[in-house]
Structure 1
Amino acid sequence: MTETIDFTGDENIGVYTRVFEDHAFVPLNAPEEYVSVLEKRLGVEVVKTTIQGSSIIGSLLVGNSNGMITSGLATAEESEILKSYGNVMFLSRTMNAAGNIILANDELAVVHPGTPERVVEKISDFLDVPVLMMTIGGIPTVGMAAVATNTGILVSPGITAQELKELEEIAGELPIGTGTVNMGSSLVGTGLLANSKSFIAGSSTSGYELGRIEDVFGFV
């Protein structure tokens, strides 16, 4: 079965797509082959849409089984589409790239360290998880520096010992491991889609990188 794919020639599939346990959101121009691979590989219903008129859905949407968080600039039509698949929280217009600044699963969330505390509290209440404000490998856009599912967390290999310790304390027994995608990119969120069923990586991801992903998420 396909383990790697590109999005209309771009290996950074995580920028364009957001995957949850039962559904995934992709741009309107997503090729049918791309949609079919996601459906079969990840066991999801694929929904075509835009967010604030943009195709970079992976950068603008995040969440867990309790709901989705997205840009406050989403249109009424886009918002209704999202709401038909779950509860939705909208970020302010000044810091709205939810998929970039938030990493989340059903156990925890990590947010950009510059996120206002009142917003952090809202995120925690909405997703019903404890929230850490931190960088990963010094990268504040934590949603692109890591990928979190309910079976594991793959983080940038640049993660510091202190960052790892903080993440481990909140993650409990959930496996955490380092890895890269697309021949060495440490921004793993840009090139990896995953849920508890399976994963698919950007087209340039090497066999070694795929093996590491399988190991961290327990697919071996």
Structure 2
Amino acid sequence: MLRLGDITGNPYVGVYCVASEQLAIVTESAEPKIVKEIARTLDVQVIATNIAGGTIVGSLVAMNSNGAIVTNFVEKHELAKLPKSLRVGKMEEKVNAAGNNILVNDKAALVHPGAASHTLKLIEDVLGVEARRGSVAGIDTVGSACIATSKGIICHPLTSKDELKELSDFFKVPAAIATLNYGTPYLGACAVANSKGAFIGFRSTPIELGRLEDGLGLY
């Protein structure tokens, strides 16, 4: 299922929300009708909370079916809102905007080239996947440049064919280039997706929606 929308009037919905196959976390500033729309579109439970006292949940949290990595600035009362069954690890380093700096699905995680070795181990332990450092199209903030699910990856439009093959081999899903929100190349900021659907910034064009649908296998 595909749905166009916004969060607090902003089409960059991936900045404010993150999702796995079972769960989405969205800023508590999101309107109740938007929370319901995300739940319906992705077929997930939705938790509304801020992270580190702010609204940019999608930038600060990386998540798959096994757990979540969050910025080390997360507050105790925010963590308390998350399901007790969710494994959570804190990204204790300078590169700590987990959502921007980790591209992850249920098979693998690509991490900012400057990430520390202990961060890679944390990701592997909490998210249960192989983690390696890398960039995409020369961009170190790989989580903002791409979107990965268990069905596919869509990437910044300057991603080379060789990079697409490497990403496909590593994440074990097809990889393709795309844009969203009328030409925006930073896809992770523009949509929230899993294998069941995508909640996408309202400025995205029909052609962009088609590329997302093909790239993420949302037929």
Same fold (TM over 0.5): yes
Gaps in structure 2 of 5+ consecutive residues: none
* Residue in 2 that maps onto 1:171: 171
Q: How does 1:1-220 map to 2 (within 5 A)?
A: 3-82=3-82, 84-172=84-172, 174-220=173-219
Offset at 1:63? 1.7
- 1-structure distance, mates of 2:189, 2:214: 19
Moved more, 75-84 or 30-39: 75-84
Using the TM superposition, name which of 59-68 and 205-214 deviates more: 59-68
When the two structures are aligned, how many residues end up with a matched partner?
219
Identical aligned residues as a percent: 37
Q: Which digits, 9 at most, give the CA deviation of each residue in 1:107-144, with x for residues without a partner?
A: 11010011112321221232221223111111110001
* Alpha-carbon distance between aligned partners in 2 of 1:7 and 1:169, rounded to the nearest angstrom: 33
Q: Does the C-alpha gap of structure 1 residues 91 and 118 become closer, same or farther in structure 2, counting only changes over 3 Å?
A: same
Partner secondary structure for residue 37 of structure 1: helix
What SS does the aligned partner of 2:158 have? coil
Question: After TM superposition, what 4+ stretches of structure 1 lie above 6 angstroms from structure 2?
Answer: none
CA distance in 2, matches of 1:46, 1:118: 30
Q: What secondary structure, in the 3-state scheme, does the structure 1 residue paired with 2:10 have?
A: coil
Structure 1: which 5+ residue stretches go unaligned? Answer: none
TM-score (normalizing by structure 2): 0.94
Q: CA RMSD in A?
A: 1.5
Amino acid corresponding to residue 197 of structure 2 in structure 1:
S
